[in-house]
Structure 1
Amino acid sequence: MAKTYRALALLLTYPTNDLQRRAPEALALIEAEALVPKTLRKALGRLVAEIAGGDIYDLQEAYTELFDRTRSLSLNLYEHVHGESRDRGEAMVALAELYRAHDLHLSANELPDFLPVFLEFLSTLPETQAASLLGEATHVLDAMGERLKSRGSAYRAIFGALGKLASQAADPGALAALLSEPDEDPNDLEAIDKAWAETAVTFGPSDVGCPKASALVDAMMAEPGRQPRRAAARA
């Protein structure tokens, strides 16, 4: 089980004073395990310095503009596949049941497809299995990383690290399809309203680029001698 997943999950949460204090500890965990290349660890260090030393209100505004106001950067994985359709709700129920089977219980305000929650779940699994499940989301994660890179965001380092942790690289065609979709300007309120009003899939076919709950359940239940694991305390 790799603590790196939990550390990355922490760094990807909404900035608070508590996160500013704990961010260097998360970086220390990533450095200690050294599961991602040194260049990416340095990039993560720059993100941590930005979080730990930045003005909290500026950090919160930047985070909201990136991840809450831009659908193409939504941290809710199933948003990229199902939009706001009923299919997303059914997928999240299945994913939540999978978490509970491994003794990871969500709070009332946590969605199961929220990327930091998914990463914390992966931190409770053997590294090979976690890397395999993460690989199912590589297309979405790489597309988000490219969009963050184009914005000059230090958060790009997290998605670069996830790409290295995953067991498989994104299919070039699937990644290109994701990147061909519109990337909303967070300051264009009319475009944002139109994007969130859409209920159809906007990021390609539903079997591409997202860890589908059915696939996760099948993979976990097929593991010989599987024993439930209790999620560790948050980093």
Structure 2
Amino acid sequence: MNDSKPNQPIAYTLRVLSALLRYPDAAFRAAVPEMQEALDREAALHLDRVLELHALLRRLQQDDPFNTEAEFVEMFDRGRSTSLHLFEHVHGDSRDRGQAMVDLTQTYERAGLLLDTSELPDHLPVVLEYASTQPPQAAREFLAEFAHILRGIFSALRRRNSGYASVLAALLELAGEQAEAVELPPEPALDDSWAEPEPFSGCSSPGQSRPADVQPVHIIRKQPSTASGASA
């Protein structure tokens, strides 16, 4: 567990972790030395964790860009267990997710931050950028609210032996939690997890109420008009 003081600055570390969870394009690779310096200067994480993040940054900078970019897409855009959209892990595609995102957007707005229209509020890099604008203790408490989701993503990344697991481990430690893997159910095949539900088969999306129940359809016969005074 991270033993840093609650009020120790963590803003730059959060921004580096946010950048690590975005698409590793040319701009990202050019900024790697600056990000490594920020991690060292702020020293918000244990040295062993910082060294892991240094190694990940160095690999993403030096490896073939095509491979690192393809790895990112495969890791975070294909499959639910490693999705970086946090409320997807809790609400699936249910209407509750929409309300949760409205509430989170309002949290940002109360802090004077307007979300870019191309971003979703529950995207983890966005969440971390917001947290980086808050006082250290408030940022840690905000991260702790998502700790159960972060632990699930961390566990899924560990299961895949991904270096990105170090990023989630760092976030858990900043939230005052231990980076411990938990058991996860087997992830469905990609085609199954993104398949459209069959018509009239009930709700089948994770997060919906009574997803396996048959939804009855009540057909009411239209009554003939009894209006008087109609012209012949």
Aligned to 2:163: 154
Deviations 1:144-190 (A, max 9, x none): 112212222111110111111003458x8xx74xx332324xxx443
Match of 1:125 among 134, 158, 164: 134
Deviations 1:191-217 (A, max 9, x none): 3434x8652229xxxxxxxxxxxxxxx
Residue 50 of structure 1 pairs with residue 59 of structure 2:
yes
Q: Is the 8 A contact 1:75 1:115 kept in 2?
A: yes
Residue 101 of structure 1 deviates from its aligned partner by: 1.4
* Structure 1: gaps of 5 or more residues: 203-235
Question: What pairs with 1:188-227 in structure 2 (closer than 5 Å)?
Answer: 188-194=189-195, 198-201=204-207
Q: Is the 8 A contact 2:53 2:166 kept in 1?
A: yes
Aligned to 1:142: 151
Residue 85 of structure 1 deviates from its aligned partner by: 1.0
Give, in whole Å, the separation in 2 of the partners of 1:24 and 1:84.
Answer: 39
Residue 75 of structure 1 pairs with residue 79 of structure 2:
no
Give, in whole Å, the separation in 1 of the partners of 2:21 and 2:32.
Answer: 10
Aligned to 1:231: none
Residue 23 of structure 1 deviates from its aligned partner by: 2.4
Residue 181 of structure 1 pairs with residue 182 of structure 2:
no
Question: What pairs with 1:77-96 in structure 2 (closer than 5 Å)?
Answer: 77-96=86-105
SS in 2 for 1:181: coil
Q: Is the 8 A contact 1:138 1:169 kept in 2?
A: no
Larger radius of gyration: 2
Give, in whole Å, the separation in 1 of the partners of 2:207 and 2:152.
Answer: 16
Give, in whole Å, the separation in 1 of the partners of 2:143 and 2:162.
Answer: 22
Q: TM-score, normalised by structure 1?
A: 0.76
Which structure features the higher share of helix residues?
1
The CA RMSD measured in Å over matched residues stands at: 2.0
Residue 106 of structure 1 pairs with residue 115 of structure 2:
yes
Provide runs of 4+ in structure 1 moved above 6 Å: none
Aligned to 2:176: 167
Q: Is the 8 A contact 1:132 1:168 kept in 2?
A: no
Deviations 1:53-100 (A, max 9, x none): 122221111111111101010000000001111111111111111111
Q: TM-score, normalised by structure 2?
A: 0.77
In structure 2, what residue type is equivalent to 1:8? L
* Structure 2: gaps of 5 or more residues: 1-8, 198-203, 209-232
- The percentage of aligned residue pairs carrying the same residue is 36
Residue 116 of structure 1 deviates from its aligned partner by: 0.4
In structure 1, what residue type is equivalent to 2:161? G
Give, in whole Å, the separation in 2 of the partners of 1:31 and 1:98.
Answer: 30
Give, in whole Å, the separation in 2 of the partners of 1:122 and 1:193.
Answer: 31
Aligned to 1:210: none
Aligned to 2:70: 61
Q: Is the 8 A contact 2:155 2:184 kept in 1?
A: no
Give, in whole Å, the separation in 2 of the partners of 1:119 and 1:58.
Answer: 26
Q: Is the 8 A contact 2:91 2:206 kept in 1?
A: yes
Q: Is the 8 A contact 2:156 2:184 kept in 1?
A: no
In structure 2, what residue type is equivalent to 1:190? D
Higher relative contact order (CA 8 A, sep 6+): 1
Give, in whole Å, the separation in 1 of the partners of 2:178 and 2:143.
Answer: 10
